[in-house]
Structure 1
């Protein structure tokens, strides 16, 4: 499998491509990383250095990849955080050209815009752009529950309302939806869930909630889920394996006392996860 991953990159820590590439490589996926920023560290520190890469420069890198004849071999285009409005045009154009070269290729979009605790942390135009143009062009999307609510103008806070919101967004284009950070009042305390839906049905998985802010964990989740799902077509398996891998990563990171993901130290969790969580069919 080959994945063209268009995301941010940092030198210190693990977010964007700096979080997604190594876990994908560790499970045997060939990754073609294209950077949209090249920062010293993620912006959660409040200070960082390095360039925001212009859409024209990102387009040039992708054009060079196309000129090497790689597009027919690409199985997935993956995108995450979009720092500026112009990157969306580059991504959408790339998806179209990759699919022309390989009609079986899919586009997986992580529509990063914020979370329930922090609200939106992207430029005001980005959520609207994602909702109106980018998400409808995707085959797979991986929003958290907060982002799903914005995309559908709903307030998903129970299993029933979350499933209804998923069906609303599936009607706009993406047929496969992974909802991360699902919280609902009837779930046991100190737990968190993920919900996955495609044409075959809906599955949910519950894990203990690890009390930490883990920048980049969503990027790892989107990458691993996309690869496992694209490779097997088995939604329940992709959900179960991704959940176990990411939980082990977060567990190790929390135990380390470090702020940044222990990405390399957790590599066996991607290659050979313990598969410790059961998934349950809900629809």
Structure 2
């Protein structure tokens, strides 16, 4: 059975970080070992929350405890998302090295959370540089949004050709696969949103209708779902199509319900049998 070590934030109510990534992976038959970087009552978009932030040492201690069970050789991938500090980031990258020492075939999928269009950079000082200089070079797969792709590549992209060049620049840092989410290029219709997967000099695009829903945690689900399907197929295009279909179905169900939280449990069939599929075009 495939096993993934997922190191992310966690909320008791709602679905962001590990509480958005773990269940879809499990629903697809993957064993998940979650380690939480924070544990909050709810995501911070509500304006108030309770809970605490953990540090790098606490992550390292948990990894040591897992390693003591002798199971790291069975770990197929490490998945990381939002990093609250560079200290936590170094603990994550150190964990990747430890897992790869036990299983040289293990992969690292990094969702380089830095910021977004309209919000700008929203992580603490030093995280952007850590992502570019340490985490992304260590990763096999990265899943930036369009805003983060530009930051990592050090350029502003508007056309599809520019986006492809930026993806190649990020790949030159180390990752084999770059998945650009929330892509809005010049040729993206106003009523649509694109996703682009880049691997081995080839690029695949999936275009889905733009929904009116705006919820936290969708990016965490996309990263997890893409990783799950890429582990299974080793095809960036196929993995992109499967992940895009599932996330669209999840968000469409959430929009129809008027929910502020993604309906991760209610829409769980979308992970294994999406109600709608979309063309995967090589561009």
Q: Which category describes the TM-score, using the shorter chain as reference length?
A: over 0.9
Task: Indicate yes or no: 2:250 matched with 1:249.
Answer: yes
Report the counterpart of residue 193 of structure 2 in structure 1: 192
Task: Indicate yes or no: 2:65 matched with 1:98.
Answer: no
Report the counterpart of residue 27 of structure 1 in structure 2: 28
Report the counterpart of residue 120 of structure 1 in structure 2: 121
In structure 2, the gaps of 5 or more residues are none
Report the counterpart of residue 235 of structure 2 in structure 1: 234
CA contact (8 A) 1:76 1:107 kept: yes
Report the counterpart of residue 201 of structure 1 in structure 2: 202
Report the counterpart of residue 15 of structure 1 in structure 2: 16
Partner SS state of residue 195, structure 1: strand
Q: CA deviation at 1:200?
A: 6.1
Counterpart Cα distance in 1 of 2:31 and 2:86:
28
Task: Indicate yes or no: 2:157 matched with 1:156.
Answer: yes
Report the counterpart of residue 38 of structure 1 in structure 2: 39
Counterpart Cα distance in 2 of 1:36 and 1:157:
34
Partner SS state of residue 51, structure 1: strand
Q: CA deviation at 1:275?
A: 4.8
Report the counterpart of residue 261 of structure 1 in structure 2: 262
Instruction: Normalising by structure 1, report the TM-score.
Output: 0.98
CA contact (8 A) 2:11 2:39 kept: yes
Report the counterpart of residue 224 of structure 1 in structure 2: 225
Instruction: Normalising by structure 2, report the TM-score.
Output: 0.98
CA contact (8 A) 1:241 1:275 kept: no
Counterpart Cα distance in 2 of 1:24 and 1:76:
12
Matched residue count: 282
Report the counterpart of residue 68 of structure 2 in structure 1: 67
**After TM superposition, which residue ranges in structure 1, 4 or more long, deviate above 6 angstroms?**
none
Partner SS state of residue 259, structure 2: coil
Counterpart Cα distance in 1 of 2:186 and 2:235:
29
Q: CA deviation at 1:278?
A: 0.4
In structure 1, the gaps of 5 or more residues are none
Superposed CA RMSD: 0.9
Q: Deviations over 1:83-133 (max 9, x none)?
A: 111011111111011011101101000000111121111112111111111
Counterpart Cα distance in 2 of 1:53 and 1:196:
33
CA contact (8 A) 2:213 2:254 kept: no
Report the counterpart of residue 166 of structure 1 in structure 2: 167
Q: Deviations over 1:31-78 (max 9, x none)?
A: 000000000011111111101012111111111001111110000000
Counterpart Cα distance in 2 of 1:157 and 1:40:
38
Task: Indicate yes or no: 2:217 matched with 1:183.
Answer: no
